[in-house]
A and B are shown apart, each in its own frame.
Chain A
Amino acid sequence: GAVVSQHPSRVICKSGTSVKIECRSLDFQATTMFWYRQFPKQSLMLMATSNEGSKATYEQGVEKDKFLINHASLTLSTLTVTSAHPEDSSFYICSARAGGTGRRLGYTFGSGTRLTVV
């Protein structure tokens, strides 16, 4: 089955620094990747959609200059939280969808990254 690897699983950083989270599709090419944020005991909130080779589309209210997304290849998307502050502490999850025509493969999620900003 489709596998998405997300790294790191946990990261603690100091306020004001930047953190990069990687999302890789291991056995399929992901033309589209999605980045979510999840607060404790809440649902997943879509932050942005990224398509390989083009700029990401951000959801309303998400600061694109703070959450930089790069989807440089068909197997890798990165989310960089710039100048992180304690309020950015959250659980970040990526999801990938395979491209191509024919039978849809659905959406595969990574295992998530717990970001703590101190």
Chain B
Amino acid sequence: QQQVKQSPQSLIVQKGGISIINCAYENTAFDYFPWYQQFPGKGPALLIAIRPDVSEKKEGRFTISFNKSAKQFSLHIMDSQPGDSATYFCAASMSDYKLSFGAGTTVTVRA
């Protein structure tokens, strides 16, 4: 069973809009929560990551919000651009061990 649940499966956003992807987990031992961006035919690339001791992390147009008590974290893509069209995966791991991936969200940014 998937240890990290991700939603929505897909979303369409207009250029300049905000894309929001949500993930939830059950294992409270997870201590590393990365987001990956994957283009067709390529491997995933790390976008941004957060640890449970902070509630928010921002890097450019990408922000992770983390709610430890609710065991949820989300990715916000501000000012979405056509080049952001890709599949996004949330993931979680504990103590540098193997990553558990969400099911993925396909984001389409319409110009």
The residues of A with any CB-CB pair to B shorter than 8 Å are: 4, 6, 34, 41-44, 46, 49, 91, 93, 95, 97, 104, 106-112, 114
Cβ of A111 and Cβ of B104 under 8 Å apart? no
25 contacts between A and B (CB under 8 A): A6-B43, A34-B98, A34-B99, A41-B106, A42-B103, A43-B2, A43-B101, A43-B102, A43-B103, A44-B44, A44-B101, A46-B99, A93-B43, A93-B44, A97-B96, A106-B46, A106-B49, A107-B34, A107-B46, A107-B93, A108-B46, A109-B36, A109-B45, A110-B43, A112-B43
Chain A interface main SS type:
strand
CA distance A113 to B34 in the complex (A): 23
What per-residue 1/0 map shows which CB atoms of B70-110 lie under 8 Å from chain A? 00000000000000000001000100101101111010000
Cβ of A107 and Cβ of B99 under 8 Å apart? yes
The residues of B with any CB-CB pair to A shorter than 8 Å are: 2, 32, 34, 36, 41-46, 49, 89, 93, 96, 98-99, 101-104, 106
Closest approach, in angstroms, between the C-beta of A85 and any C-beta of chain B? 23
Cβ of B43 and Cβ of A104 under 8 Å apart? no
Cβ of A112 and Cβ of B42 under 8 Å apart? yes
Contacts of B93 in A (CB 8 A): 107
Closest approach, in angstroms, between the C-beta of A60 and any C-beta of chain B? 12
Output the residue of B34, B43, B99 with the most chain A CB within 10 A: B43
Nearest opposing residue in chain A for B44, CB measure: A109
Cβ of B44 and Cβ of A104 under 8 Å apart? no
